């Protein structure tokens, strides 16, 4: 079946460095993608999204890249801070399904070393 996965369960970076979190998806019909951040004991929070008609989108300190050819999504965090430590999930859906159902990957834990 379709799945969304992340390449690494844990990523450890030095404070101030850039972080790159990767995600592979298998459903070629997916056309809307979201990155969520989940801090310990809390619900996931929206970071940034991208639709399939784009290959890059930038937010504040974050950039999402979409490569539809290889079905790969990445989240780049610039100048990583201790407050960025969390689990990051990518999620996908098909616009045509009109249900809003998101399929989530298993998550990557980002650890920021001071």
Partner 1 sequence: DAGITQSPRHKVTETGTPVTLRCHQTENHRYMYWYRQDPGHGLRLIHYSYGVKDTDKGEVSDGYSVSRSKTEDFLLTLESATSSQTSVYFCAISGKANGELFFGEGSRLTVL
Q: Which residues bind partner 1 (CB under 8 A)?
A: 32, 34, 36, 41-46, 49, 89, 91, 93-95, 97-107
Within 10 angstroms of residue 75's Cβ, the number of other Cβ atoms is 24
Quick one: 100 or 114, whose CB is closer to partner 1?
100
Helix (H/G/I), strand (E/B), else coil: 101: coil
Q: Tell me whether residue 9 or residue 16 sits nearer to partner 1 (CB atom).
A: 9
Q: For partner 1, which is the closer residue by CB, 3 or 14?
A: 3
For residue 96, the SS3 value is helix
**How near is the Cβ of 5 to partner 1 at its closest, in Å?**
9
Going by C-alpha positions, the residue among 109, 106, 102, 108 that lies closest to residue 27 is 102
């Amino acid at each position: 079946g379709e799945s969304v996965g992340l390449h690494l369960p844990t990523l450890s970076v030095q404070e101030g460095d850039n972080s790159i979190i990767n995600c592979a998806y298998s459903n070629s019909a997916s056309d809307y993608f979201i990155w969520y951040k989940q801090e310990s004991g809390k619900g996931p929070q929206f970071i940034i999204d991208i639709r399939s008609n784009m290959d890059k989108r930038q937010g504040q300190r974050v950039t999402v890249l979409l490569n539809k050819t290889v079905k790969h999504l990445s989240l780049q965090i610039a100048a990583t801070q201790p407050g960025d430590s969390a689990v990051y999930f990518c999620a996908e859906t098909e616009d045509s399904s009109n249900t809003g159902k998101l399929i989530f990957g298993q998550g990557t834990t980002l650890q920021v070393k001071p």
